[in-house]
Each structure stands twice: as C-alpha cells, then as structure tokens.
Amino acid sequence: MFDTDAMNFPTSNFCFVGLLSMIDPPRSTVPDAVTKCRSAGIKVIMVTGDHPITAKAIAKSVGIISANSETVEDIAKRLNIAVEQVNQR
C-alpha cells in the first residue's frame, strides 16, 4: 500500500530523465450542479477510482466536501483502524 508519509521506495542509483504531468479537471458546470442538487434535498456523493488524496481534492474543488470534512480514509487514519472498520452508514 502506498503511504505518503513513509519513504518506502528506492532513493539511490536513479537517473532523472523527465517529468510528466496530466490533469483531467471536473467540468466547469459541476460545482453549480452540486449546489442545485443539495438545494433540492439530494445527497451528493462521489464514486471514483482515484487515489484518496486526489479524490478529496476534487471533491473539495466542486463543493462536495468542505475543507474541514473527513473522508473514510481520514477517519480510519485518525482512529488507527482499517478503512473497512469505519462505520460508513
């Protein structure tokens, strides 16, 4: 499992050959759609295969969660338990 805090990868005998970056931003209409759904009483959730850090950033950018919201991964880390043990209601 990838851990952003632990250095669990080789750090020597490498030669830097390049850097690539890609972005697939949400459509510009998504934040307004989230707001309209919420005002209509619809509970908005996001299902994604993205890394949790990426998913959280996207959810914040479109208004699905706020800056101080906790994800299931955040709760599991805070309680030092597996994600599967968090009560997801």
Instruction: Check if the beta carbon of residue 76 is closer than 8 Å to that of residue 85.
Output: yes
Dig out the tokens for 16 from the structure: 């830097």
Q: Specify the pTM.
A: 0.64
Is residue 74's pLDDT more than 90?
A: no
Indicate the pLDDT class of residue 89, thresholds 50, 70 and 90: low
> What tens digit of pLDDT does each residue of 2-48 get?
677 777 777 888 888 999 998 889 999 999 999 999 999 999 999 99
- Give the residue with greater pLDDT, 70 vs 29: 29
Residue range 38-67: mean pLDDT, rounded: 92
Whole-angstrom distance, CA of residue 27 vs CA of residue 63: 13
Q: CA–CA distance from 2 to each of 5, 48, 79 (Å)?
A: 9, 17, 19
Dig out the tokens for 14 from the structure: 């490498």
Dig out the tokens for 18 from the structure: 């390049």
